[in-house]
């Protein structure tokens, strides 16, 4: 069942250029759906349109197969968690959580029942009599979540709710929100600019840029088969390594710097194309044993992360990163042997930025993992 459906949805202010252009999207019941994109891409505007906080300029918005374009927010049977928590400072935690139920004139007995259940679920039982100023950032976030959960609305909207938290707490809250969504069977639409949040939380992700949908799919598909250069660059950490390439004399030449011997079968129809850009993920630049190396690259930066090491190399005008498991004692200026192969490369049209051919080894590796 489609819980939320958007048909040619558009948004503009004062008849100026559209902030959102022709958004066509269906979100299933019980799905954790993530809207991701850079600042100014239109993702928060789209969320506010679903909530009824922004007028719809054009197109149709349906919730549970009902057109809701002109319905007021309170009539849409949804809840929303804002980036800044939006707690009332003069009310206690209990009063903040129950505020929406009180406004809807829910019976006091039912209010207390829901309060006890929700406070226990969110770990707020001991904090109910405190004011927001007496709470930490994580506790305030849980209060905002509790206020949403206690409403029993089947559709929950979240607008970058974790952006004000430190890294450790953010990682913990990602797990809590995901677990809560599954436990309650909520349909959740979650806005973030953090692609790590998007990858780790979403059943499906929509990548938005400049008001247009770039790609919709599950996290692994977006990572392995990005529709264009924008998606390829946006999804994945570290960022995908990119470089302009030409095919000459049975060699793939990247940034006039790296030469890789190829056969026609290596890249099929790509061999006829000009204006190529290749992309290779950091984990696919392997350390090369002396007898298996394809290139030697000079290290210009090293990041030791404990469980893995990131090494940066200069490839023409581009900086490439390799991600190697474990602790490597490389230093700036060292020349290290690497193994780079065409089968790990995705090919893009430099003019249109569209994907021509994804890395050919990805499907095989996924099958091995699945077994």
- HSE, CB side, 13 Å, CA atoms: give it for residue 11: 25
Q: Do residues 87 and 191 share a domain?
A: yes
Of 229, 251, 273, the one marking the end of a domain is 229
Of 207, 229, 251, the one marking the end of a domain is 229
CATH code of the domain containing 213: 3.40.50.300
d(CA 69, CA 169): 37
Q: Do residues 130 and 262 share a domain?
A: no
DSSP-assigned states of every residue in 303-353: EE-SSEEEEEEEETTEEEEEEEES-----TT-EEEEE--GGG-EEEETTT-
Domain count, the chain: 2
Q: Do residues 322 and 215 share a domain?
A: no
d(CA 122, CA 92): 16
Q: Do residues 24 and 112 share a domain?
A: yes
Q: Do residues 177 and 268 share a domain?
A: no
Of 205, 229, 253, the one marking the end of a domain is 229
Q: Do residues 262 and 185 share a domain?
A: no
Q: Do residues 37 and 147 share a domain?
A: yes
Q: Do residues 219 and 273 share a domain?
A: no
Per-residue pLDDT tens, the chain, 371 aa: give them: 468 999 999 999 887 788 999 999 999 999 999 999 998 899 999 999 999 999 999 999 999 999 999 999 989 999 999 888 889 999 999 999 999 898 888 899 999 999 998 998 888 999 999 999 999 888 898 899 899 989 989 999 999 988 878 888 888 888 888 988 998 899 999 999 888 899 999 999 999 999 999 999 999 999 999 999 999 999 998 999 999 999 988 889 999 999 999 887 777 767 667 789 999 999 999 998 777 889 999 999 999 999 999 999 999 999 999 999 999 988 999 999 999 999 999 999 999 999 999 998 654 444 444 43
Give the range of the structural domain holding residue 249, as residue numbers without chain letter. 238-370
CATH code of the domain containing 254: 2.40.50.140
Measured torsion, CA atoms of residues 198, 201, 205, 211, in degrees rounded to the nearest 10? -50
Burial of 157 (0-12, 13-18, 19+ CB in 10 A): buried
Q: Do residues 101 and 225 share a domain?
A: yes
Q: Do residues 200 and 72 share a domain?
A: yes
Q: Residue 36 corresponds to which tokens in the numbers above?
A: 């991701």
> What residue spans of 185-281 are helical by DSSP H?
195-201, 219-224, 229-234, 264-267
């Amino acid at each position: 069942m489609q819980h939320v459906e958007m048909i040619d949805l558009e948004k503009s202010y004062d008849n100026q250029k559209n902030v959102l252009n022709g958004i066509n999207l269906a979100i299933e019941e019980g799905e954790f759906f993530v809207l991701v994109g850079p600042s100014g891409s239109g993702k928060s505007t789209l969320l506010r349109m679903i909530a009824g906080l922004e007028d719809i300029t054009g197109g149709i918005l349906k919730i549970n197969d009902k057109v809701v374009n002109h319905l007021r927010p309170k009539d849409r049977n949804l809840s929303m968690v804002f980036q800044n928590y939006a707690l009332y400072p003069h009310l206690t935690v209990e009063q903040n959580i129950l505020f929406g139920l009180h406004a809807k004139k829910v019976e006091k007995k039912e209010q207390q029942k829901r309060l006890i259940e929700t406070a226990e679920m969110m770990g707020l039982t001991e904090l109910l009599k405190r004011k927001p100023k007496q709470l930490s950032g994580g506790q305030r976030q849980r209060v905002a979540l509790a206020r949403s959960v206690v409403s029993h609305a089947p559709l929950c909207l979240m607008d970058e709710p974790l952006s004000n938290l430190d890294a450790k707490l953010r990682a913990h809250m990602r797990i809590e929100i995901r677990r809560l969504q599954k436990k309650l069977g909520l349909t959740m639409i979650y806005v973030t600019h953090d692609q790590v949040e998007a990858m780790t939380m979403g059943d499906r992700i929509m990548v938005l840029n400049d008001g247009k949908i770039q790609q919709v799919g599950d996290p692994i598909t977006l990572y392995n088969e990005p529709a264009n250069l924008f998606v390829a660059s946006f999804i994945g950490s570290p960022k995908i390594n990119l470089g302009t390439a030409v095919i000459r004399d049975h060699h793939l030449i990247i940034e006039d710097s790296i030469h890789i011997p190829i056969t026609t079968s290596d890249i099929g129809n790509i061999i006829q194309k000009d204006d190529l850009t290749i992309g290779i993920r950091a984990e696919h630049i392997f350390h090369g044993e002396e007898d298996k190396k394809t290139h030697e690259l000079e290290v210009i930066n090293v990041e030791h992360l404990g469980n893995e090491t990131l090494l940066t190399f200069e490839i023409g005008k581009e900086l490439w990163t390799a991600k190697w498991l474990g602790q490597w004692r490389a230093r700036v200026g060292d020349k290290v042997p690497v193994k780079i192969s065409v089968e790990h490369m995705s090919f893009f049209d430099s003019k249109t930025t569209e994907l021509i051919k994804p890395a050919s080894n990805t499907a095989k590796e996924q099958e091995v993992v699945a077994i």
